[in-house]
């Protein structure tokens, strides 16, 4: 879950630099677009819908304050960060009135920009997760109310009085499991919950890929109700759903189109017409676990989003600990069947993160492989060992991903030095820029270059100093400052140590060679 940023500044070089900084660092953001002033930004807000606006204050046509005012008065859910060289209190006060809470003063160290953007991403992620949680809760309530309506049950406590207002114009389809015990498989009755969840997961993934807009609910074990907007490819979706479930699980499905509906009541009437024995279909279903498939599916998405956030923020080492201690621990208190479902939930989240974020496949493994392994387990200890193995595989994939990514560490470090050698360029600062532990960074840089970071930086600075001594008439103190030494005496000492002579002696020896 990445956030999107719009960069607004009248200086193209600053926009380009900020874009490169965001794209080459793990800050959680991606650049959606740029604008040269506030007016251009306002014109592009509807098109880009950024989550964050990083803007200068002083710009022609429309400044950053007016842009922040427009965002505030339009009630847009966008965070604004001001980037400015002005310390004007009045300007800052005006920005605060319009909801601006972060300011970056030019010239701003790259580390400080990264820090502010990471903090902003953490706040954005918290807001987004809270909103998604509220949406999920609302959808679950809608699903409960719609299911109760279909089965002629009393509405859930605190539920909506008119469920399914969004149904108008949707096609109503039923997907029925013909049998959970196909002859080609050795499934047992206790596997039913696991298989039910697996079918729901396959349905969810295919709907995300192939259906423009739609919802599904579990009516009871082995029976799903789908409500899809009219589309020419809907029959193709159901054909693929049946083929995929048959291929992966060996379970045959039957698809029954019931027609178009405009309300939950109309859907209930169609469902009742389909059910030849409505009373037996509804008996005791209010207390069943038929909605658990949707709730478990929601948990898969939640865990997947949280895992992605750990990776985006560079908290790679914390992710396996989070999975073991927060996600999995405590999930082993229920029945064996529930434990297996929770294990499959976590395995599917891990599989999706490895595929999308780490570009790591798992060979021939798919949901059918996971189910085949889980269903034959007879104790929760076996399930726990299986989960720990899945987390260990994730750890190995992260380590391999980091190794491949850090293979270009020396190149990225050298580019950083070339850009910032004239400023304070500490080992700790570069390590922070690359989101690595300082000791780990130091060892890895030396391993890749055969030279320590400090040694490389000093040699690079001395080479620049030699060039300036040979080709310019700059004072020694000016050259010292130009290559990153605030103290000219310390520079002279470092130069003598590197070149075997003082800066003045070096200049006297080499400058006359130029005509």
- The winner for highest mean pLDDT among 239-243, 313-317, 324-328 is 239-243
Long-range interactions of 271-274: CB distance < 8 A, separation 24+: 271/150, 271/151, 271/172, 271/174, 271/219, 271/225, 272/152, 274/174
pLDDT band at 241 (very low <50, low <70, confident <90, very high): very high
Residue 228 backbone phi and psi in degrees, to 5: -120, 145
Classify domain 409-513 at the CATH class level.
Answer: mainly alpha
Distances (CA, A) of 371 to 58, 269, 297, 343, 408: 60, 36, 15, 10, 39
What tokens does 23 get? 């794209």
- Locate 55 and state its tokens: 């803007």
Contact by Cβ (8 Å): 459, 498? yes
Q: Tell me: pLDDT of 286 over 70.
A: no
Percent of the chain with pLDDT over 90: 25
Q: How far is CA 403 from the centre of its chain?
A: 21
Domain 3-108 has CATH 3.40.50.2300: yes
pTM greater than 0.75 = no
CA–CA dist 505, 195 (Å, integer): 82
- Contact between 200 and 293 (Cβ < 8 Å): yes
Residue 284 has pLDDT above 50, yes or no: no
Residue 295 has pLDDT above 60, yes or no: no
Higher pLDDT, 277 or 442: 442
Q: Where are the domains of the chain?
A: 3-108, 138-182+195-284, 295-405, 409-513
Q: How confident is the model at residue 92 (pLDDT cuts 50, 70, 90)?
A: low
> Which of residues 333 and 242 earns the better pLDDT score?
242
Q: What is the mean pLDDT of residues 462-472?
A: 90
Domain 138-182+195-284 is in which class?
A: alpha beta
Q: What pLDDT, on a 0 to 100 scale, did the predictor assign at position 44?
A: 92
| 514 band by pLDDT with thresholds 50, 70 and 90 | very low
Asked if residue 513 has pLDDT above 70, the reply is: no
DSSP state of 332: T
> Would you place residue 164 in the very low, low, confident or very high pLDDT band (cuts 50, 70, 90)?
low
pLDDT single digits (tens) 379-403: 989 999 999 999 999 998 888 887 7
Q: Regarding predicted confidence, which is higher, 54 or 86?
A: 54
pLDDT band at 258 (very low <50, low <70, confident <90, very high): very high
Task: Find out whether the peptide bond into 107 is cis, omega within 30 degrees of 0.
Answer: yes
């Amino acid at each position: 879950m990445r956030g999107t940023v719009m960069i607004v500044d009248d200086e193209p070089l600053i926009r380009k630099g900020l874009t490169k900084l965001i794209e080459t660092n793990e800050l959680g953001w991606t650049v959606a677009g740029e604008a040269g002033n506030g007016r251009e930004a306002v014109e592009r807000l509807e098109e880009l819908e950024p989550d964050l606006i990083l803007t200068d204050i002083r710009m022609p046509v429309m400044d950053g304050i007016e842009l922040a005012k427009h965002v505030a008065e339009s009630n847009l859910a966008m965070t604004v960060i001001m980037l400015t060289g002005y310390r004007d209190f009045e300007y800052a006060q005006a920005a605060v009135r319009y909801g601006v809470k972060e300011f970056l003063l030019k010239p701003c160290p790259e580390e400080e920009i990264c820090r502010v953007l990471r903090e902003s991403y953490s706040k954005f992620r918290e807001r987004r997760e809270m909103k998604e949680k509220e949406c999920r809760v609302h959808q679950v309530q809608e699903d409960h109310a719609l299911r109760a309506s279909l089965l002629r049950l009393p509405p859930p406590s605190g539920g909506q009085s008119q469920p399914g207002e969004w149904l108008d114009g949707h096609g109503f389809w039923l997907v029925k499991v013909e049998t959970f015990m196909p002859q080609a498989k050795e499934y047992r009755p206790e596997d039913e919950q696991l298989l039910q969840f697996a079918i729901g997961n396959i349905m969810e993934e295919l709907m995300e890929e192939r259906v423009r807009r739609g919802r599904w609910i579990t009516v009871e074990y082995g029976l799903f109700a789908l409500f899809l907007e009219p589309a020419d490819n809907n029959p193709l979706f159901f054909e693929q759903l049946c083929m995929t479930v048959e291929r992966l699980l060996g379970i045959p499905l039957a698809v029954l189109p019931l027609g178009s509906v405009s309300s939950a009541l109309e859907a209930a009437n169609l469902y009742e017409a389909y059910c030849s024995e409505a009373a037996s279909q509804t008996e005791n279903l209010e207390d069943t676990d038929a909605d658990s498939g949707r709730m478990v599916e929601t948990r898969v998405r939640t865990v997947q989003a949280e895992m992605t956030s750990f990776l985006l923020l560079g908290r790679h080492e914390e992710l396996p600990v989070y999975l073991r201690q927060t996600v999995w621990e405590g999930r082993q208190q229920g029945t064996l069947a529930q434990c297996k479902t929770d294990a499959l939930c976590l395995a599917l989240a891990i599989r999706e993160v490895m595929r999308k974020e780490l570009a790591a496949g798992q060979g021939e493994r798919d949901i059918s492989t996971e189910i085949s392994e889980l269903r034959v387990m007879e104790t929760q200890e076996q399930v726990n060992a299986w989960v720990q193995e899945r987390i260990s595989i994730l750890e190995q994939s992260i380590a391999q991903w980091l190794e491949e990514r850090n293979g270009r560490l020396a190149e990225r470090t050298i580019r950083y030095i070339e850009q910032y050698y004239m400023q304070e360029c500490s080992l700790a600062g570069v390590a922070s820029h690359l989101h690595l532990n300082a000791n780990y960074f130091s060892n890895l840089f030396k391993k890749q270059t055969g030279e320590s970071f400090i040694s490389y930086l000093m040699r690079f600075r001395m080479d620049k100093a030699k060039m300036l001594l040979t080709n310019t008439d700059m004072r020694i103190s000016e050259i010292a400052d130009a290559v990153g030494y605030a103290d000219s005496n310390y520079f002279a000492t470092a130069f003598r140590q590197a070149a075997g002579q003082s800066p003045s002696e070096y200049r006297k020896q080499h400058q006359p060679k130029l005509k």
